[in-house]
Amino acid sequence: MIQVKNLIKRFGPVTAVDNISFDVGAGEIVGVLGPNGAGKTTTIRILTCFHPATSGSATVVGHDVFHESMEVRRNIGYLPESAPLYPEMRAREYLEFRARLHGMARGDREAALRRVTERCWLGEFIDRPIGQLSKGMRQRVGLADALIHDPKVLVLDEPTIGLDPTQIRETRELVKELGARHTILLSSHILHEVEQVCGRAIIIKSGRIVASGSPDELRQRVSASSPLIAEISGPAEEIRQAVAALDGVGQVEIRSEDGWHRLAISPSQRADVRADIFKLAAEKGWSLREIRREVASLEDYFVKIVAEQQAPGI
């Protein structure tokens, strides 16, 4: 549904998007992550026909974003971070106006308005002036605008910004539901949101894709070198020395409380020594009440990959 090949965008001497390529298949929900200034928004603006690329190509539903921009716009729904709404118009008037711009017939407009009003929880606010709505409610109107023409592709830039916790949860559930009908490209600074909603994540740094994969795959890249946590009862120094002597164990940190010793064990060369620790405790007669690998989050991987990219010489 979305194909990006060797895309480059320069603003004078600044390269905002640096030779990136990726595909988004039908029905996928893909998250785009990156620090401020990474090139996420520029990429989105190229895909939604707001910026021309310097070189490379991009297509949406088979239509070239440069040569067939009107066809792209018919097939795409775009919610920018700050939705450009008319504050003097009522929400109903604005959505009807936007439906007319999409060339929808009157009967289709009325049906679409009912659909997005219900789906975006606008019922009691639909006849209020947009300027009197809260930021979160204006965000809902922007989402309804993106959905009004029932596009094949949705591009959502920070869709939960300004919403309260209940609305954030509802919006995330809505995005997952929309994934059954639409292909979705979602940009977000909220890494937990991408973990919950997206089937795949693309991390951009300095205009380049530095990693991509499912949230589970990205977490595993950190988890493989994450410390093991073990809680053992017995003589503290003997436990530390015996565990440190195991093959595949690097550094061992120990903290004692109430007769139990909590060990943070850094494996060397990505070794998994949990079975060896269990066997050691059994042989020594020590009580073992917990052994687990520290669970990494997408945030852990994001921080790690960005830090590596910022390191000198990289």
In a domain, 106, yes or no: yes
pLDDT at 159: 85
Is the pLDDT score of 301 beyond 80?
Answer: no
For residues 254-262, give the mean pLDDT. Answer: 90
Please give the pLDDT value at position 38.
85
102 and 184 in a single domain? The answer is yes
**Boundary of a domain, candidates 190, 221, 252:** 221
Tokens of 224: 């493989």
Q: Supply the CATH number for residue 240's domain.
A: 3.30.70.1340
For residue 310, tell me if it sits in a domain: no
Residue 235 included in any domain: yes
Is 48 inside a domain boundary?
yes
Q: What's the pTM value of the predicted model, to 2 decimals?
A: 0.76
* Lookup result for tokens 């910026």: 51
- Look at strands 200-205 and 29-33 and give their pairing: parallel
Provide mean pLDDT across the span 46-54.
94
89/111 same-domain check: yes
Q: Are residues 243 and 208 in the same domain?
A: no
Lowest mean pLDDT among 109-113, 158-162, 210-214, 281-285: 158-162
Q: Please, which pLDDT band fits residue 236 given cuts at 50, 70 and 90?
A: very high
In a domain, 313, yes or no: no
- With respect to residue 196, please indicate whether it lies within any of the assigned structural domains: yes
Q: Where does a domain end: 196, 221, 246?
A: 221
Mean pLDDT of 177-189: 89
* Chain centre distance of CA 140: 19
- The proportion of the chain whose per-residue pLDDT surpasses 70, expressed as a percent, equals 91
Tell me: do 84 and 123 sit in the same domain: yes
Question: Which pLDDT band, with edges at 50, 70 and 90, does 312 fall under?
Answer: very low
Judge if 244 and 133 occupy the same domain. Answer: no
What is the side-by-side strand order in the sheet with 2-11?
Answer: 14-24, 2-11, 55-60, 63-64
Q: Is the same domain home to 181 and 39?
A: yes
Instruction: Write down the pLDDT at residue 310.
Output: 54
Tokens of 46: 């190229």
Do 187 and 275 lie in one domain? The reply is no
Do 212 and 233 reside in the same domain of the chain? no
Query: What's the number of domains the chain is made of?
Result: 2
User: In the predicted model, is pLDDT for residue 5 greater than 50?
Assistant: yes
Report the distance separating Cα 89 and Cα 97, nearest Å.
10
Rounded CA gap, 64 and 88, in Å? 35
pLDDT at 35: 80
If asked whether residues 166 and 271 sit together in one domain, one would say no
> Looking at residue 114, which CATH number applies to its domain?
3.40.50.300
Q: Give the Cα separation of 63 and 74 in Å (integer).
A: 10
Tell whether 234 and 100 lie within a shared domain: no
pLDDT band at 296 (very low <50, low <70, confident <90, very high): low
Q: Return the DSSP state at 292.
A: E
pLDDT digit string, tens, across residues 114-136: 999 998 889 899 999 999 998 88
Contact (Cβ atoms closer than 8 angstroms) between residue 156 and residue 120: no
Report the chain's C-alpha Rg in angstroms: 25
pLDDT of residue 306: 65
Residue 309 is assigned to a structural domain of this protein: no
Whether 19 is in a domain gets the answer yes
Q: Report pLDDT for 307.
A: 64
The closest alpha carbon to 118, from 98, 138, 147, belongs to 147
Q: Is pLDDT larger for residue 250 or for residue 303? A: 250
Q: Which residues contact 175 (CB under 8 A, 6 or more apart)?
A: 29, 156, 159, 184, 186, 197
Least confident among 79-83, 176-180, 219-223, 269-273: 219-223
Range of the domain at 119: 2-221
Whether residues 236 and 212 fall in one domain: no
The kind and range of the H/E element at 22 are: strand 14-24
* Residues 38 and 145 occupy one common structural domain: yes
Among 205, 221, 237, where does a domain finish?
A: 221
Q: Span 270-284, mean pLDDT?
A: 87
* pLDDT score recorded for residue 297: 66
